[in-house]
Amino acid sequence: MLCVVVYLYATSLTLWALNVTFWFKNAHAFFMDYPSMPLPDRKAQANLNVMMLGTPMEALFMFNMVVGDSVVIWRAWVLYQRTLWVVSIPCLALLMSFIFTVVDITCLTGAGWGNQSAIAGGGPVCAHAELTSWAFSFVTNATCTILIGFKAWRHRRTMKSLNTLENNRRMSTHKLLSVLVESGFIYCLFWLTQLILFIDVSRDKPIIYVYQLFAGMGDQISGMYPTLIIVIVNFHQTIWEPDSSLPPPGAVSSVQWSSGSKRSGPATTFFSQRGIDVHLGADSNGEITMGDMGLKRPDSEDV
């Protein structure tokens, strides 16, 4: 996972540097390179000068998105004890997203940009490749967030039924699961804002500033969110790793009561839940036992 974190950081930093370079080259070309050219023609020429940066920026963003979605799937896979069938739908969506990412980059390399800066030219398949890849990415994130939400709901219900909700100072399992669910939900909402990249936005209208804002944010959030997941999960691995001090699943722990010499009778199960049996019995020892631990009642007392 260290390699993934380094990759996400490097690509996000590179995208930021390319965005800054894009803006400065565009501004320099507009104000300095063509002083005698009319303003509308000057703007078009300035855009042509920086268009060569578009394909590398698109490729970095799309592959960053695919790697980030892989981290989201890993999060769900680990929390479900590495059960592959649980993440089958997100994995299929990730595969389709990767395929259309390759199609989009291929179209940009061969046919260049279309009329809109975020869409490749070269026919209907190329024109919709990035949108299709984005849609499958959104399905991946939404499905994994639902899976984690279901896991958090089951965990809280189990803790309530056992009356053992965690109140310690450190971040509890339930709180950590809630953070993962809420952050996934917020990320899905943010990912919806990237739809503006597929709308034909005129550079002559004020909405172009909203377009540029969300485009720049998408480059960074697509790398920051998966990195945040890796950091959280690696700091709190006890979500899925059982505590070595606890008995393994299926082990039977029992609580028994023996009433001493004045009472007799077979041991009776008081209740049984999730492998924990509580017995009320009668033998001559007068002892309460739970697993390997025991409490012995004084022989002179009756309860």
Place of tokens 């990320």: 187
Domain boundary among 239, 263, 282: 239
At 278-295, the pLDDT tens digits run 444 444 455 545 444 444
The answer to the question of residue 116 being in a domain is yes
| Confidence (pLDDT) at 111 | 64
Tokens of 133: 């890849």
pLDDT at 277 over 60: no
Instruction: Of 49-63, 173-187, 228-242, give the lowest mean pLDDT range.
Output: 228-242
**276: β partners:** 253, 273
231 near 152, Cβ under 8 Å?
Answer: no
155 and 265 in a single domain? The answer is no
| Confidence (pLDDT) at 16 | 86
Q: What is the mean pLDDT of the chain?
A: 72
pLDDT at 105 over 90: no
Instruction: Of 97-101, 123-127, 263-267, give the lowest mean pLDDT range.
Output: 263-267
Give residue 290's domain range: 253-296
* pLDDT over 90, % of the chain: 10
Mean pLDDT across 43-72: 82
d(Cα 200, Cα 191) in Å, to the nearest integer?
Answer: 18
d(Cα 89, Cα 97) in Å, to the nearest integer?
Answer: 12
| Residue 152 vs residue 139, higher pLDDT | 139
197 and 225 in a single domain? The answer is yes
pLDDT bin (cut points 50, 70, 90) of residue 271 is very low
pLDDT at 98 over 70: yes
170 and 270 in a single domain? The answer is no
Mapped onto helix, strand or coil, the DSSP state of residue 206 is coil
156 by Cβ neighbours in 10 Å (0-12 / 13-18 / 19+) ranks as middle
282 near 267, Cβ under 8 Å?
Answer: yes
Number of folded domains that form the chain: 2
At 77-91, the pLDDT tens digits run 988 888 889 899 999
| Confidence (pLDDT) at 92 | 96
218 and 88 in a single domain? The answer is yes
